[in-house]
Each structure stands twice: as C-alpha cells, then as structure tokens.
Amino acid sequence: MAAPPELDVTAPFAGVVVAIPHTSEEHVGEGAPVVVLEAMKMEHEVVAQEAGVVGRLAVSIGDEVEEGQLLLTLLPGGERARTSVQRGDEHDQGERADLAAVIERHAVGLDAARPDAVARRRERGRRTARENLAELLDEGSFVEYGPLLIAAQEQRRSREELIARTPADGLVGGVGEIEGRRCVAMSYDYTVLAGTQGMRNHNKKDRLFELAEHRRLPVVLFAEGGGGRPGDVDMPIVAGLDCRAFEFFAGLSGLVPLVGIASGYCFAGNAALLGCCDVVIASEDASIGMGGPAMIEGGGLGVFAPEDVGPIEIQDANGVVDVRVADDHEAVAAAKRYLSYFIGPHEARPAGEKERLRTLIPEARKRVYEIRPIVHALFDEGSVMELRAGFAAGMLTALARLDGRPLGVIANDPTHLGGAIDADGADKAARFMQLCDAFALPVLFLCDTPGFMVGPTSERTATVRHFARMFVTGASLSVPTGTIVLRKGYGLGAQAMAGGGFRAPQFTIAWPTGEFGGMGLEGAVRLGMRRELDAVSDEAEREELFERMVALAYERGRGMNMAAYGEIDDVIDPADSRRWIATLFDGSEGDWRASPGKRRPMVDAW
C-alpha cells in the first residue's frame, strides 16, 4: 500500500522563526502550533491544518523566511480529533497573571478594601462616594472612568501608599443609568485627601464633561471636599489656573441638566462647581462656602470651624440651595425626582378633586389664603416639586405634571407682602423661567400680586434692575406660557407674571375672584381722585367717599369686566383650569435633546 503523501506547511508571510514547538516524528493535533514566526515585533503561530506526525524540519530557530517558504512537512494520520491548542505559555494554563493583577488593582479602591476609611464615614453618619453612586444609578449600569488614577505625589510618597490611600485620585466618576436613561455621575471622595481637587481628577472631570457634551447626558455631581490640592507636586505647574474643568462644566449650562448635591463640607473648587448646577440639593449637615476655614484664616479673616462657614440655615434662606433634605439618602431621591421632569411625559396620576379648587380662595377679597394647596390641587397627585422654598417667600417656583406631562409653575404667595414681588422674588422667578425654557418645559404663572414692592427700603435692594429681569427673561422665552389670575392682577407686577403683558402668554384667564387695575385700587383712588377727596372737609365723609370710589373701581376691575373688554381671554370655573393648562402642551415638553444645540446660552447661576 502506498504511503500517504506529505503535507507541506509553508510561511504565510515573511518573518523570523522564533519557536518550533514539536520535533520530528512527534504527533501534533489539528490546530496545534508547529512554528512561531515573528514579524513587526509580534509573534504569530503557524498551526497544523490537520492531525499528523512531524516529518522533515526545513528551518531552524533564528532563520529568516519568505512568504510561501517551506517550514516543515507533516505525515497525515493518527488522532483526527481537533486538540486543544498548546501554546507553551505559562499564563495560558490556569489563572493569567496579567488579569489577576488588573482585578487586584481595581479591588484596592473599593470600599471593602478600605475598612478604616469607611469606618470614619460611619462615625460621622455619612455614606461613601461609591455608596451614593450605587443608590443613584440603576444596578449594574455604572461604567467607571479612571479608577486606577493616583494622586500626582510620587515625589513625596511611595507608589504603594498612593495606590492604597488615593484611589481614583479622590473622584469616582463615570457613566450610568437612572431609570434606564444614561447620565454622567461623579462624586468627590472625602476619604481621599479631604475631597480636594487633584490635577489628575481635574483631567478626569474634563473627560467626563466632554462626554456629557457630545452625548447630551445630564450630569449629577456629589460635591464634597475642598479646592485645589497643593500637594500634587509631580505636575510641573505654578498655579494651575489653566485648568479647564470649570470652563467645561459651566459650558454645559443650558445644554444638559446639571444636578449638584452637597452634604458635609463643600468649599472652594467643589463649591464653584456646585454653584454652576441648575439645581443644588443639600443635606442638613452641609456647609457650603467659596472658601474653607484654612483659606479664611490664611486671608487674615479669623478662625472658624467648618460647620460655621455657610451652614444649611444660611444657604437655604439666601437662595444657594434649591432643595433641602435630611441626608444622603434623601438627596439621592431628590436628584432622581428632579431629573424625572426632563425625560418627557410619565404615566398620568389622578388629580385632586377639581371642584375643591372653587373653595380654596375666600370670597372676601382681603382674606389671605395659602397658595400651596392650590398648586397641589391643580396638578397630578404627588407631582409637585418645589425649588428654592426657603428663599424669596413671596414667590413659589415648582416643577409639576399635568396628565403626566411636565411643566414649570411660578406663583405669587399672598401670605408674604400680600403677594407683592420684591427683588429676591423677581430673581427667583426669572431664573426659573430660564431653567424651564432651556429644557423645553411650558410655564404656568399663577398671579395674585398687588404689583412690585415699592418704597425707599425696597429701592435699597436695587429693585429697578431685579424687577426688569422678569421682563427681559419673559420676553425671551420660546416655550408656551399661560397665566391664571387667582385674585389680584395689578400693574407692572401682574404684567411680569404674564411674561411681560397679558397678550404675551398663550392664554390669560382669571378665576371669579380675579380683580385688575393699573395699580392697587386704594392707591389708584387716592392718587387719581385726590382733588375730589380733598374737597370734602369732614374726615368721616371723606373716608366714606373713598370707600365708595374704591368699590366702584373694584367693580370696574372685576374679571368679568376685563373679559368683556377683551383684556383677558376668559373668566373660568376654577374646576376647569386643567383643561386650559393642557393647551400649553404640544408633545415637545421635556424633549430638550430635540434641539441641535442650546435653547438658551446658559441657565443663570443665580
């Protein structure tokens, strides 16, 4: 019987022979390497196309070969089953050393590997950065960027110490999902060098901010810690003022929703980032300041404990904080809830009894009432989220939903200054208008104001400029607006509560309690009818004449009369309000990504 023909094994390309795993007359399985060639600094295995026995070796280790050159021959036969490839590399047998090193290095930065740091957080009643991110983001959705970074301090500390004590360079950040929608999430880690901003974690922020810009992703920032870190001596810098993190983050304003969370100490650079956010959520133990105790003392301004610099009581009342919460857990819940208004419609929830709206404002025109029960009754149950509740008590700003669709609400509060708009109230309303406009939310004004606050004391607060912010912002809105006059609609203040005038909104309507005038009725009568009043010498008769004139002015300014002259669109049954509000929606609400770029240049930080 004739012997089976030999099979030639040739070089698939030019290279150098660096290994011949099998000797002559040795059996090899199908797919096993028979020669290893090196080309372009890489090793390539030439494998047996079928099982056989190594016959004649045509090359030796170190030989240079050309494409197609004979390497060896195989005598077919023996075991035909494909064998496992025997590479001869130790790391392919069992656990690979390189993979084990990567897994071990990543584990060093996890909370489980840092019990002392975690224990210190527990002593302060605080959670770790990773715990906060884990609760914020959908399980398993977080893809972390830069977890292997260490502080730029190898000239001062050993690499082993930096790996153990400065994981992720003190900033845990990446991309994750909240209720199935992607966002960028990051948290300064106070257990790493007190949450200071190192040069490498600045670069990480830059990377993530650019990612948020390119992919139009909301950003959630846990800002706990201080500012620049002077101990990063490895980087050849003088002052580091060419850092671009603040420019990049501020540039996201108006492009994507920005959520800042402050708990514990938030000073300097961390506070600067926090202040750029659309909404600031802060816990009861938060201290927020543009300079921490060291900076204050260094400036010769005194010695203060951290908790005395910008405590929550101050920052809530002065408007820095939008949402005040008890702790980290509530802060995360508030962040999720806030972002939910910017992802389009939700499943509709039942509204309160609409007939109840008929009785929430007293018939007696001077009797005060609470605005919040009205706001909550108008919209879907549990859907109202008030912002800046501790600031500017005369102006309410809130996010809400009607039939599941999100919108913004701006309302006067008659329990404060009778609903008059002061400088803080104007700022609060103007800034909220910008927020809604930037992210495609319609705006509903609930007007009950005697006008702008006046008087020498008021003018000391620069009211002329602050009031004007409501006009210039209102005139620049691109989203639909509507105004419901609940009671008083007087003067410039009422016009500001309609985006500049009663013709500006998509609708201007009133409840039966609505009353109108170019200024407050009593003031208008005293000013306009001064001659007639001065002609009456008897004080009692003069007061009686004044009251009659006020009553006549009131009758003339009643909502029904305003509607009869076409100065408002209608006077409605309060129970019919939701039907009017529904006309503000066109299906684009909350769909801010539909715009190719920014709808507004920015959302004012104030």
User: Cα separation of 351 and 374, whole Å?
Assistant: 12
Q: Which among 340, 374, 399 is the end of a domain?
A: 340
Query: In the predicted model, what is the mean pLDDT of residues 410-417?
Result: 96
Sign of the Cα pseudo-torsion (46, 51, 57, 61, in order): positive
Does residue 519 surpass a pLDDT of 70?
no
pLDDT at 173: 97
Q: Is 317 inside any structural domain? A: yes
Cα 477–Cα 483–Cα 488 angle in degrees, nearest 5:
130
pLDDT at 85: 42
Three-state secondary structure call for residue 54: strand
Domain span including residue 535: 519-557
202 shares its domain with 112 = yes
288 shares its domain with 198 = yes
458 shares its domain with 497 = yes
Query: 215-231 burial string, b = 16+ CB within 10 Å, else e?
Result: eebbbbbbbbbbbbbee
Three-state secondary structure call for residue 531: helix
Does residue 120 surpass a pLDDT of 80?
yes
Distance of CA 268 to the CA centre of its chain: 20
186 shares its domain with 328 = yes
225 shares its domain with 362 = no
| CB-CB contact of 397 with 387 (8 Å) | yes
280 shares its domain with 298 = yes
Per-residue pLDDT of 453-469, as tens digits, reads: 888 998 999 999 999 99
Q: Is 87 inside any structural domain? A: no
pLDDT band at 93 (very low <50, low <70, confident <90, very high): low
57 shares its domain with 140 = no
pLDDT at 91: 44
Backbone dihedral region of 499: left (phi > 0), alpha (psi from -120 to 50 degrees) or beta? Answer: left
Q: Is 90 inside any structural domain? A: no
77 shares its domain with 193 = no
Work out how many domains the chain is built from and give that number: 4
Q: Is 345 inside any structural domain? A: no
Q: Which among 24, 53, 82 is the end of a domain?
A: 82
480 shares its domain with 531 = no
Per-residue pLDDT of 199-226, as tens digits, reads: 899 999 999 999 999 999 999 999 999 8
- The one-character DSSP state at 197 is B
Q: Is 246 inside any structural domain? A: yes
* More confident: 194 or 431: 431
488 shares its domain with 413 = yes
Mean pLDDT of the chain: 90
Q: Is 91 inside any structural domain? A: no
Task: Name which of 314-328, 348-362, 412-426, 459-473 the model is least confident about.
Answer: 348-362
| CB-CB contact of 136 with 332 (8 Å) | yes
234 shares its domain with 371 = no
Q: Is 601 inside any structural domain? A: no
* Residue 13 identity: F
Length of the chain measured in residues: 606
Burial class (CB in 10 A: 0-12, 13-18, 19+), 570: middle
Q: Is 94 inside any structural domain? A: no
390 shares its domain with 302 = no
pLDDT band at 130 (very low <50, low <70, confident <90, very high): very high
CATH number of the structural domain spanning residue 75? 2.40.50.100
**Tokens coding 482:** 């509507």
Q: Which among 340, 367, 395 is the end of a domain?
A: 340
Going by C-beta distance under 8 Å and a sequence separation of 6 or more, which residues neighbour residue 374?
357, 360, 361, 411, 446, 486
CATH number of the structural domain spanning residue 382? 3.90.226.10
